[in-house]
Structure formats: structure tokens, C-alpha cells
Chain A
Amino acid sequence: MHEMKKVTLGWMAIVLVLFPILLLLGIFMRAVQANGLANAEEWFYPFMTLHGVGMVGVWYVGAMACAERVIARYTGSNDGLSYVAMGGTVAGVVLLLVCVLGGKFASGWYFLYPLPFKGTWPIWSATTFLLAMTVMGAAWLVWSLGLLVGIARKYSLSHALGWHYIGGATEPDVPPAVIITTVSLLAAVASLLAGVVVLVFFFVELLFGIRSDALLMKNLTFFFGHVLVNLSLYLGVAVIYDVLPEYAGRPWKANKIVAISWNSVLAIVLMAYAHHLYMDFVQPTSLQYLGQIASYASSLPPAVVTIFGALTLVFHAKMRWTLASGMFFLALMGWAIGGVGAVIDSTIAVNAKFHNTLWVPAHFHTYMLEGLVLMVLGYFYHYVQEHTRIPESGLVRILTLGLFVIGGYGFLATFYLSGANSVPRRFATYPAEVAHGATDSAVGVMFAALFLLGLVVFTASALRRWFRASSDG
């Protein structure tokens, strides 16, 4: 089998194995919140940690794997790099399983300082968790830098970022996917470096007992987390820029507006993280204002350029509607809706009421579950379908998309409703003040089960193509 194909199929297998498991952990959490699983409460926070780290990691590597394959058409591929990332990811997952299942480690996915050292878990599990983060972070940093080097071999940095378009030139022709991937990889390097600094501070305290500043650690942690999640989405969008035109039968070229848009995204995403610290009143107020301005500004380029561009591309097009193109189209809608929820929450006055309520997972689950997940799964499906050309069943297509939409948005609606009703996030069970959260959770479980059913149907269809693509060599 061609090495490039083998790598992509490998990443697809990892995503298809881990996603249902992590989804089940999410359903478990909502079931505990619904008081539906007696005596399972003690596993809520460890599984919340596994679910969070796992989902962020899976969709980051999934998006990277898709973008890597897409830009390989223009820059060539370096599969060794991808194997390094794969090895690091698998090793990290094993370490995560050890610390969570063996030590009930439960610091949450962003392991806010100094909680890893203040928990009810043994110190070895905290150390193992930090090692897992280190292994994955190092592997992903190498992957990101390697892909940037690959792009640099084909394009100069200014061309890869589309600055020549901004200057008025139309040549050389740089695909939007390359521009967006370059922006995302630069953001990835910044994010992962911040993550490295956080880990160094943790290890310094672990080894030498030197404590860190909680506010500095919080800024670094949220910079790392916020940028990592957003750039994962951008990588997914890069893939859509490249693949959706094939289904619409129209080109989607880079130009001045696209270049301005994505360069501004790079600047804005690095500043918008500050909205995570609105409720830390000791943070300089100027940074709080910057957080809201950057968050609001971040809505314009995607809405005006990407979403508008995608809709124009599809509008009255001779569209080839397949499972993949349907997922891409829905993913853009999910990204837009989740973005609206995020921008509303990024208003300081609103955040004072919504901060750390279920409105927060509501909006990020929207652009993850109904955005990035559909982008990545859609691309993997597109990839194996292109290699196998197995005729697609209309029934499977409708069933999959229908269950993804009904199950997904029904599940999300319970989060939004709870968030609007002041139910806090990350509560294993609800006290009397917010007891109504349990009912929302129970309804959420039912809708999540529908989404899971959709995933089973999708996976059956995708795996058939995966095995055929693997055996075709």
C-alpha cells in the first residue's frame, strides 16, 4: 500500500476507534448528572478528564491528518513525521488511560494549576498525566514544525500566508488550504510552546517544590487550550476549502480578501483567549477589553469570507450531494451556530452570568460536534470513498445525516437550556438550586444516544470502504 495512504488510513482508524469510546464517556457523564447511575458518581470527574483530553486530542490529530493529506497535493508529504505524531499520540493515550483508570486522576482537560497537585488522586497519577501531555505535546510540536518546513520548501512564508495577494499580485497561485494550514500551524506552534512552558512550570514544582504564579499559569493554560481548539477548526475549514469545490463543480480560489481574512484570524485568535479570564478580576482590565474586542472581531472573517464564500460556492451549483459533501455543508452551519453562542458568551456583561455554566460546553460542543467532527469524519469518508468508489446508499446517507442533526442538536439544546438556566458545568450531580439540570441531562442522554446511533451507521459505512481501501494496496 502507498505509504501516504497507509498513514491516512491509520489516523482514520485511530479516530474511529477513540471517538465512540469518548462519546460513551460523555453519555456516562450526562447519565450521572441525570441521577441515572447510582454509585457511579466517583468516576464522573476522572471520566470527564479522559473525555475532555481525549476529544480535544482526537479532533486535533484528526484535523491535522486531514490537512496534512490535503496540502500534500501541493507540498509533498513527509510520512515519517506523521508516524512520529502517531507514536506520540498512542503513547500519550496509554499514559492517560493508566493515570485515569489506575489513579482516578481527574484534573479536567486543561489541568488548571495547581489542581493536579491538590487532588484526591495519588501523585504518581498526576506525574503520569503530565508525562502524557509532554509526550503528546512534543510529538505534535514536531509534527507542526515539520509540516511548516514542508510548506516552506514549496512556498516562501509570505506566499504561504498569501501576502502577495494582499499586495495586489495574483501570482503565484497559492491554494486557500495552504494559506489556512500555514496560519493554523503557526498558531499551533504558539499554542504548543505555551503548553510546554506550562508543563515546565509543573515539573519544576514537582521536582524542586518551586511554586508558580496562578494567574500566569491560567493565562498560559487558556492561551494553549483556546488556540489549540480553534486551530483544529481552522484545519478542518482548510480541508473544506479544498474538497467542497470538487462537489460543487466550481473553483474556490484564494484572493486578496481570503488572504486578509486568514491573516487577521491569526492575529485575532492569539488575543481572543483572554475571554476565558473575564472572571479573574485581578487580570488587567485592558486585557479583558481586548478579549471582548478580539472575540467579536474573530466572528467577521469566518462569517464574511469563509461561510459567505462557501454558501456562494454552493448557491445554485450543480451540487453532487453525497454523505461527505452533506457533512461538510452541515459542518459549516454548525461552526456558524457554535460561533454565535461563543460570541454571545464573550461579551463580558453576559459572561458574568454564563461563565462556567453549561452555556460554555453548549457552544464549544456545537462547533466541535456539529462542526469539526463532521469536517474530519467527512474528509476521511471522502478519502476512502475516492479510493474505493463503492456506490453510496441514499438511505444510509439520510439516516446518518438525520441522526447526526437530530441527535446532535437535540443534545446541544439541553446544554443551552441548562446554561441559560444557570446550571453550572462540571457538576457530577446537581444541588437543589439547580436541580432542573438533572432533567435536561436525562433528555440529553437520549439525544446523544441518537447521535451515537448515527455514528454506528456512519462507521459501518466508512469501515467497509476503509477495509476495501486497505486491501486494494
Chain B
Amino acid sequence: MRHTSLWIGISMMLLAPAVWADASDGQRIFQQSCAACHTVGEGKRLGPDLEGVTKTRDSAWLNRWIREPDKMIAEGDAIAVRLLNEYGRVPMPNLGLNAEQADAVIAFLASGSGAALPAAATGIAHPEPPTGEGRGSVQNTASIAFLAITAIIVLVFLYVARSTGNPMPVDVQKAYKLRRVFFISGLVIVVGLLATTLFTTPYPDAAGTPDRVVHVTTLQFNFVFTQEPVASAQDLQTAGRIGNLELPVGSTVEFRVTSLDTTHGFGIYSPQGAVYAQTQAMPGYTNRLRVKFSEPGVYSVLCMEYCGAAHHLMKTVFTVRNDDHA
């Protein structure tokens, strides 16, 4: 009996990391693919609260529902149709997850720990609250220029308004001369600014080569990183999903961004919480965003084009590392 208990204990110790790995993978996938529409124990969003769902639904059914919700709805699966009607006829999207990934999500949901799994065990770095004010040098320069010009405008309007307290004729010729000076000065400033800023664009240089290409597929309300391009939901299963994107510091990465449904935005936020780079994601098109990452840390990605009810919840993260693990 003692031997039996010992063996059971040893077996459990050996199996636990495997189950834990499944659950932790599942949490990562859940956060990346499901969390915009579902919570675990925090109430309904676009879809149901999934706390205890593994006790009320058969695991084979759940696995298929996670992988092929579109097909199950089309086939008229009774539970699928009931859920569709109950949640405002908002269909659960096909996110291109395979059977193993679906099992990992189920394992996470069955673990009963919800969001309580330790971050270290999830293999995904969660963004720390931003330490900066969300402003980079461009934002600072633009804000200062705006404030300065606004102050001048306000002062001029105040000066002119006050002048009406002392009515007198205005020399029109003098005003015309001033206008000419104003126009020429304005023209010089406009041309000068155009010359200095026009070619500082975020558009990729055809001649350059990035260190790495990452394909980004957007769909309500998820970002999916893959090794290969994606043209349909089915491609997501075979395109080499990158679960935990890590990039080396100093590398130039080209994100090839597209959408499978409506227009989204792909806005990369620096570890300080400032917009670092962005492009739009349009159905039928691929925008190439080339970014050099000069600082390590966790970068968030937010949707920068309004895309529907859970637009503000659509996000993901990736890590830029300054070691050789990336």
C-alpha cells in the first residue's frame, strides 16, 4: 500500500508539470484569443463568462466549439444556435486554433484558477503599468509647437479685441504690406517644414531588408502572429501561429498586417505606454510596417481603428529582449 501511494505520488509529481504546462499554455492562448469577449469569473462580455464551463459542457464538444464555431452554427448544433441567439446573434469567430491549442484552453478553464495562475508559469510577460506619460519626442515636439502657436493666436486676438477700445482709421495700404510679409513668412515656414518633414515617413524602403518578418492577422477582436501569411480563417491553423512573440533588441522587424473581417489598427505601444509605430489592417490588403526596436521590454499592441463592440479590449503583447533568447 505504501508503495502504491508512493508510485501515485511520484506519478502525480511527474504529470503535474505537463498538466500545468497545458493550463499555462491555455491561459496564454485564452488571453490572446478569448479574453476580448470572455472572462473567467468576472461576468459576461460579448460572450459568456466561462467560469465552470468545463463542468457543464462535454470536453469533446468544447474542443470542437473552440476550433470550428462557424461550422457548428452552420450545422445547426442546438447549443451553438442557442448561444448565438442568447448573445445578440454575435457569432463566435473561427480563430484558427488546432485541437491541441483547444485542449490547452480547456485545461486552463478546468484548472479553476482563472486569472490566478502565476504570471511566471504562463510563459507570457504581462505588461507592467506604463512608467512614462505616454509621450515620445515627436509627441513632445508637436505639443510644444501647438501650444506656442496657440498662445500667439490668442494674444493677437486679444490685442485686436482690445484695440477696439480706441477706434481710429486703419491704413489699408499698410495692412496690405503687412499681409504680404505675413504671406511670404508663412510660405517660407510651410515650404521649410515640408522640406524637413515630408520624407520622414513610416513607409518601408523597398531596398532595405528586415531582420525578421512577422505576419499579423487581425480579426474581431484578436491579433494573431504567424510565421506565414494568412488569407482565411482556415490558414490560421497551418500558418505557424507564434504563441509568444519575442524579438531581439536592435532588430528591424517587418510586420505584414492584414485583416480577415473589418478594418483594424495595429498600434504598437512602447514599454513606457507611448505610441511607437502603427499601421492599419484592411481586409484584402497587407500593410508592411517596418520597426526597429532599440529598447528591450514588453510592447503592447492596441487596435487603433474602431472595429466594433469589443474594440477597446482588442490587444496583445510581445517582448523585445536584449539577450540571445529572442
Interface assignment of B286: CB less than 8 Å from any CB of chain A: yes
Say yes or no: B287 contacts A308, CB within 8 Å: no
Interface assignment of B150: CB less than 8 Å from any CB of chain A: yes
Residues of the A chain whose Cβ atoms lie less than 8 Å from the Cβ of B88: 120
Most buried by B among A288, A347, A433: A433
Q: A356-B305, A416-B146, A422-B139 are in contact. Are A432 and B203 (CB under 8 A)?
A: no
Minimum distance in angstroms from B244 CB to a CB of chain A: 19
Interface assignment of B143: CB less than 8 Å from any CB of chain A: yes
Query: What 0/1 pattern do residues 50 to 73 of A give for CB contact below 8 A with B?
Result: 000000000000000000000000
Residues of the A chain whose Cβ atoms lie less than 8 Å from the Cβ of B262: 112, 114-115, 118
Residues of the A chain whose Cβ atoms lie less than 8 Å from the Cβ of B161: 314, 329
User: Which of A154-162, A186-194, A298-306 lies at the binding interface?
Assistant: A298-306
Docked Cα-Cα span, A344 to B285, in Å, equals: 28
Interface assignment of B225: CB less than 8 Å from any CB of chain A: no
Query: What 0/1 pattern do residues 124 to 151 of B give for CB contact below 8 A with A?
Result: 0001011001111011101101100110
Say yes or no: B134 contacts A288, CB within 8 Å: no
Minimum distance in angstroms from B120 CB to a CB of chain A: 19
Say yes or no: B312 contacts A316, CB within 8 Å: no
Interface residue total, chain A, C-beta cutoff 8 A: 79
Q: A303-B186, A308-B182, A312-B170 are in contact. Are A431 and B277 (CB under 8 A)?
A: no
Say yes or no: A299 contacts B190, CB within 8 Å: yes
Say yes or no: A215 contacts B282, CB within 8 Å: yes
Say yes or no: B311 contacts A426, CB within 8 Å: yes
Partner of B157, one of A115, A257, A311: A311
Interface assignment of A285: CB less than 8 Å from any CB of chain B: yes
Residues of the B chain whose Cβ atoms lie less than 8 Å from the Cβ of A353: 136, 138-139, 142, 274-275
Residues of the A chain whose Cβ atoms lie less than 8 Å from the Cβ of B280: 279-281
Docked Cα-Cα span, A319 to B170, in Å, equals: 13
Say yes or no: A115 contacts B197, CB within 8 Å: no
Name A336's closest neighbour in chain B (CB-CB).
B153
Name A250's closest neighbour in chain B (CB-CB).
B170
Say yes or no: B139 contacts A420, CB within 8 Å: yes
Partner of B167, one of A45, A112, A318: A318
- List residues of A (406-431) whose CB comes within 8 Å of B's CBs: 416, 420-424, 426-431
Say yes or no: A279 contacts B279, CB within 8 Å: yes
Interface assignment of B308: CB less than 8 Å from any CB of chain A: yes
Docked Cα-Cα span, A341 to B194, in Å, equals: 16
Mostly, the A contact residues are helix
User: Which of B49-57, B95-103, B263-271 lies at the binding interface?
Assistant: B263-271
Residues of the B chain whose Cβ atoms lie less than 8 Å from the Cβ of A337: 150, 153-154
Q: A279-B279, A296-B193 are in contact. Are A431 and B315 (CB under 8 A)?
A: yes
Minimum distance in angstroms from A436 CB to a CB of chain B: 7
Docked Cα-Cα span, A356 to B269, in Å, equals: 13
Q: A120-B88, A432-B129 are in contact. Are A285 and B284 (CB under 8 A)?
A: no
Docked Cα-Cα span, A352 to B274, in Å, equals: 12
Query: What 0/1 pattern do residues 271 to 287 of A give for CB contact below 8 A with B?
Result: 00000000111100100
Say yes or no: B183 contacts A312, CB within 8 Å: no
Say yes or no: B183 contacts A300, CB within 8 Å: yes
Say yes or no: B146 contacts A344, CB within 8 Å: yes
Interface assignment of A208: CB less than 8 Å from any CB of chain B: no
Residues of the A chain whose Cβ atoms lie less than 8 Å from the Cβ of B304: 279, 355-356, 424
Partner of B275, one of A108, A113, A422, A436: A422
- List residues of B (142-195) whose CB comes within 8 Å of A's CBs: 142-143, 145-146, 149-150, 153-154, 156-157, 160-161, 163-164, 166-170, 175, 179, 182-183, 186-187, 190, 193-194
Docked Cα-Cα span, A433 to B220, in Å, equals: 20
Residues of the A chain whose Cβ atoms lie less than 8 Å from the Cβ of B305: 112, 356
Interface assignment of A357: CB less than 8 Å from any CB of chain B: yes
- List residues of B (271-301) whose CB comes within 8 Å of A's CBs: 273-275, 277-280, 282-289, 300
Name A345's closest neighbour in chain B (CB-CB).
B142
Q: A118-B262, A281-B204, A433-B130 are in contact. Are A312 and B146 (CB under 8 A)?
A: no
Q: A304-B182, A420-B143 are in contact. Are A340 and B197 (CB under 8 A)?
A: no
Residues of the B chain whose Cβ atoms lie less than 8 Å from the Cβ of A314: 160-161, 163-164
Name B266's closest neighbour in chain A (CB-CB).
A279
Say yes or no: A311 contacts B263, CB within 8 Å: no
Interface assignment of A19: CB less than 8 Å from any CB of chain B: no
Say yes or no: B157 contacts A317, CB within 8 Å: no
Say yes or no: B312 contacts A120, CB within 8 Å: no
Residues of the A chain whose Cβ atoms lie less than 8 Å from the Cβ of B282: 214-215, 218, 280, 282
Name B133's closest neighbour in chain A (CB-CB).
A421
Say yes or no: B278 contacts A316, CB within 8 Å: no
Interface assignment of B307: CB less than 8 Å from any CB of chain A: yes
Minimum distance in angstroms from B154 CB to a CB of chain A: 7
Partner of A433, one of B203, B286, B300: B300
Docked Cα-Cα span, A115 to B303, in Å, equals: 14
Interface assignment of B201: CB less than 8 Å from any CB of chain A: yes
Say yes or no: B261 contacts A118, CB within 8 Å: yes
Partner of B163, one of A315, A428, A429: A315
Interface assignment of B200: CB less than 8 Å from any CB of chain A: yes
Say yes or no: B150 contacts A427, CB within 8 Å: no
Interface assignment of A376: CB less than 8 Å from any CB of chain B: no
Query: What 0/1 pattern do residues 46 to 88 of B give for CB contact below 8 A with A?
Result: 1000000000000000000000000000000000000000001
The residues of B with any CB-CB pair to A shorter than 8 Å are 46, 88-90, 127, 129-130, 133-136, 138-140, 142-143, 145-146, 149-150, 153-154, 156-157, 160-161, 163-164, 166-170, 175, 179, 182-183, 186-187, 190, 193-194, 197-198, 200-204, 220, 261-263, 265, 267, 269, 273-275, 277-280, 282-289, 300, 302, 304-309, 311-313, 315
20 A-B contacts (beta carbon < 8 Å): A115-B307, A119-B309, A120-B309, A213-B284, A281-B279, A296-B190, A296-B193, A299-B190, A308-B182, A314-B163, A315-B160, A336-B153, A337-B150, A349-B201, A352-B278, A354-B275, A416-B143, A421-B135, A421-B274, A427-B311
The residues of A with any CB-CB pair to B shorter than 8 Å are 42, 45, 106, 108, 112-115, 118-120, 122, 213-215, 218, 257, 279-282, 285, 288-289, 292-293, 296-297, 299-300, 303-305, 308, 311-312, 314-319, 321, 329, 332-333, 336-337, 340-341, 344-345, 347-350, 352-357, 416, 420-424, 426-436
Closest 8 CB pairs of A and B: A421-B134, A319-B164, A422-B134, A427-B312, A318-B167, A349-B200, A281-B287, A426-B306
